[in-house]
Amino acid sequence: MKYTARFLFLQFLWSAFCLCMPAKTMAQQTATPPQHFHVKTPGSLPTLIGEAQKNLLTDIAVEGALNGTDLRFLREMAGSDAQQQPTEGQLAHLDLSRATFTPGGEAYIYKDEWQTVKGGALVLPDFAFRNCRLATIVLPERMDTIGIGAFELSALRSIRLPEESVVLGWAFNQCKQLTQVEFPQHLIELGQDCFRDCDSLRTLRFHDVQFLPYHAFQDATGLEEIVIDGTLWHADGWMCDACPNLRRIEFSGVILTTGGPTIASNCPMLSEILFSGFSFPIHFSRVENCPKMQACRVTGSILQSACPDFLPPIRSASDVSRPLLQRATAVVAAMSSQKKLSRWNTMTVRKNEIIRQLAAVQARCGRKAEALQTLALLCDIGFPFTSKITSDSAFADLKNDADFIELMKKIETNADYLRMIRLSLPYDTGSAFRQAVPLPPLSYAPASDSTLQRIRSYFQADYIAGSGSEVERIKNVMFWVHDRIRHRGNFLPSSQRTAIDLVEGCRKAGRDGMNARGQAIVLAELYQALGWPARFITCQSKFYADDPDATVVTVVWSFTLGKWVMMDASYAAYVTDADGLLLHPGEIRQHLKDGRPLLLNKEANCNYQQPTSKEYYLDYYMAKNLYYMSGFEHNAPNIDCDRHAAYYTLSPVGSNVKIGIPVYDDAWFWQKPL
């Protein structure tokens, strides 16, 4: 009896165990890897998969170069056709880790207009998976850009972003099921409104991030917490707006620069902003319509604050903890060598000032060797203001130090910009015309362009120009832009880049001016509206990768003179030779190179604060910034917002410039307009 009962009991346990086994085995059998497709010829994915499988597959991996036809087919598999109408496709999991993109094929979606694949191989096209059923996607580890609205209105639940990528605006707008975003160790840029109306997304944790723009986090309905635990290169003012559930923001890493004055607005639940890391000068000074926030909490070290009551800074360098200073030192060294930069860094991150400030803190803390090592980073940047160092009391104990004196001499030599211009190699004049396939001609929108017509009417451009000679009218328009639009070096409206949009953007932001780029765009479009071919030229130093102090000027074709002339609205400046002939930037550069005399107009100034001297403007400022010059192939309203527009940089022979398309032919760059 006992044996039978025990036997039956053991048999029962064995049977129960066996009953569990098939279920486990079945689960293992269903967890099959995704079906793999290798696209050897762009556009062949529809043939590889076929119509029979098209609406049945739920989990696939695709590798190879994909064009618009392939992307259109993937969208249909994921539940949305090119017209954004529902399909029977069931694709929920897509692995693109070994895929790239190439121009060509069909348009893949209609959004505002028919969209085709236009970007580079490592660019996920705009609106690629808008309105699709995809729940997960694996992106390549290496990807330059995630396009505008790439996952907008999709069923995406989680995503891991590629290293050193740019995420453009609206990328995840209205992804209602998105709960997790894994950011890379180094994010280049996050666009505006990326997480708008993401109801399920609670926390965003960043590591290193170069640029967070105005309204980076706007109407992020589910967002409760933002944490940045790495290096923040720059965050614009009003980076958070209208986030109804945002409760907390924490900066626990190193902050290099910020905009200002408002860090957050219209966030009714925001109750804590914590700075627990190391911060260089901060321009944040308030919140707006955030009733639970009175002041920030600081447990780290902030060198300077625009509003000490809102954001308390350190009282002396000795208050900086050694671990935080060591972390800041490592960050600045890494920043100096960083080559892949956000497109906004030349406007926001002043590397040379950051290096100088860190060295000053190190010197005040008695760390001579560290201060000298930090200052040495300025040798490769081209820091022209050694007097800022030698006159700073922080370096008083180093003034007679042989290593310090030698270092200052080396920095000064590398910052002799006239010498750099004079020693620069010549251009390869005529080479672009001699090529087997010559470079295309530069083109200009006609005054009859509808946008230019609106600009002409909006600004009353004919009244601005007046009724004098052609040269007088050209000058009148430039002076008007200088007088009515103040130069604000760190501000450009977040808007389209037409003259009207830029001016209206300033008005909406409560600003009375914009940076040199904005001023030059407005001026160029006013000239175009009045019938003069014109374009804006970005002028950069030899150390462009590290030197943020670039400038942008306008060149306009004078029919009377039969040549290009430069008008600089930010300084109310124009330049002539010894005989009074107006010059363009290329001619100014050549005069500096040859040592020929140049004249600056007596009215030159910046915001009427003080007159601008020839010695500063020509011998330093333009000598520094005329090493490289860049401009668009086609010049029309809003061209600066066309990410696919051809952009050329005039470079001396032998240069390895990495700005747009390098060209070494000055005759082509300054060709007469057709």
Q: Say which CATH number the domain at 99 has.
A: 3.80.10.10
Lowest mean pLDDT among 199-203, 345-349, 610-614: 345-349
Q: Report the alpha-carbon distance of residue 342 to residue 166 in Å, rounded.
A: 8
Tell me: do 52 and 27 sit in the same domain.
no
509 and 637 housed in the same domain: yes
What value does the mean pLDDT take over residues 398-413? 89
Q: Is residue 494 part of a domain?
A: yes
For the chain, percent helix, then strand, then coil, each to nearest 5? 30, 20, 45
pLDDT for position 14: 46
Q: What is the pLDDT of residue 4?
A: 52
Percent of the chain with pLDDT over 70: 93
> Band of the pLDDT at 122, cuts 50, 70, 90?
very high
The percentage of residues in the chain with a pLDDT greater than 90, rounded to a whole number, is 78
Do 6 and 45 belong to one domain? no
Weakest mean pLDDT among 273-287, 344-358, 439-453, 594-608: 344-358
Residue 22: is its pLDDT beyond 60?
Answer: no
Instruction: Based on the fold, state whether residues 466 and 591 are members of the same structural domain.
Output: yes
Domain of 597?
A: 424-669
Within-domain flag for 479: yes
- 561 and 436 together in one domain: yes
- What is the per-residue pLDDT for 549? 78
Residue 185 has phi, psi (to 5 degrees) of -65, -30
Split at pLDDT 50, 70, 90, the class of 548 is: low
Mean local confidence (pLDDT), 197-222: 96
* Residue 170: inside a domain: yes
Give me the pLDDT at residue 108, please: 98
Compute the residue count for the chain. 674
Cβ–Cβ under 8 Å, residues 453 and 498: no
Q: Are residues 63 and 145 in the same domain?
A: yes
- Mean pLDDT for 446-462 is 97
For residue 639, the model assigns a pLDDT of 96
Parallel/antiparallel/unpaired status of strands 217-218 and 628-632:
unpaired
What is the DSSP pairing of strand 647-650 with strand 628-632? antiparallel
pLDDT of 119 reads 81
pLDDT score recorded for residue 23: 37
Residue 529 has pLDDT above 90, yes or no: yes
Q: How confident is the model at residue 490 (pLDDT cuts 50, 70, 90)?
A: confident
Specify whether 8 is located in the same domain as 87.
Answer: no
* Residues 18 and 44 grouped into a single domain: no
Q: Classify residue 85 as exposed, middle or buried by CB count within 10 Å of its CB (0-12, 13-18, 19+).
A: exposed
Number of domains comprising the chain: 3
Residue 49 tokens read as: 């998969």
Mean pLDDT on 3-18: 49
Assigned domain for 202 exists: no
Q: Is the pLDDT of residue 574 over 90?
A: yes
Last residue of a domain, one of 182, 201, 224: 182
pLDDT of residue 26: 31
CA dist 256 and 319 (Å) reads 19
* Residue 347 reports pLDDT greater than 50: no
282-327 tens-digit pLDDT:
999 999 999 999 899 999 999 999 999 999 999 988 889 899 999 9
547 compared with 558, residue with greater pLDDT = 558
Domain final position from 167, 182, 197: 182
Q: In the predicted model, is pLDDT for residue 512 greater than 90?
A: no
**Residue 372: inside a domain:** no
Q: Which of 151, 182, 213 is the last residue of a domain?
A: 182
Residue 671 has pLDDT above 70, yes or no: yes
Does the residue 502 lie in any domain?
A: yes
Average pLDDT over residues 502-527: 93
**pLDDT for 3 beyond 60:** no
The pTM for the full model equals 0.68
Q: Is residue 68 part of a domain?
A: yes
Is the peptide bond preceding residue 162 cis, with omega within 30 degrees of 0?
A: no
Kindly state whether residues 26 and 66 are assigned to the same domain.
no
Between 227 and 339, whose confidence is greater? 227
The mean pLDDT of 440-464, rounded to a whole number, is 97
Q: Are 351 and 386 in contact (CB under 8 A)?
A: no
CA–CA gap between residue 22 and residue 549 (Å, rounded): 69
Q: Quick one: average pLDDT of 65-79?
A: 98
Residue 659: C-alpha distances to residues 118, 538, 544 (Å): 19, 11, 9
Instruction: For the chain, give the mean pLDDT.
Output: 91
pLDDT of residue 161: 97
Average pLDDT rounded to a whole number, residues 92-99? 97
Q: Please indicate, yes or no, whether residues 6 and 36 belong to a single structural domain of this protein.
A: no
pLDDT confidence tier of residue 353, bands split at 50, 70 and 90: confident
Whole-number Å distance between alpha carbons of 456 and 253: 48
Domain presence at residue 376: no
CB atoms within 10 A of CB 107: 15
Across 153-179, average pLDDT: 96
HEC assignment per residue over 569-598? CCCCECEECCCCCECCHHHHHHHHHHCCCC
Span 380-402, mean pLDDT? 83
61 and 7 in a common domain = no
Angle separating helix axes 499-509 and 450-459, nearest 10 degrees: 50
Q: How confident is the model at residue 29 (pLDDT cuts 50, 70, 90)?
A: very low
Q: Once rounded to an integer, what is the mean pLDDT over residues 172-181?
A: 97
Asked if residue 152 and residue 10 are part of one domain, the reply reads no
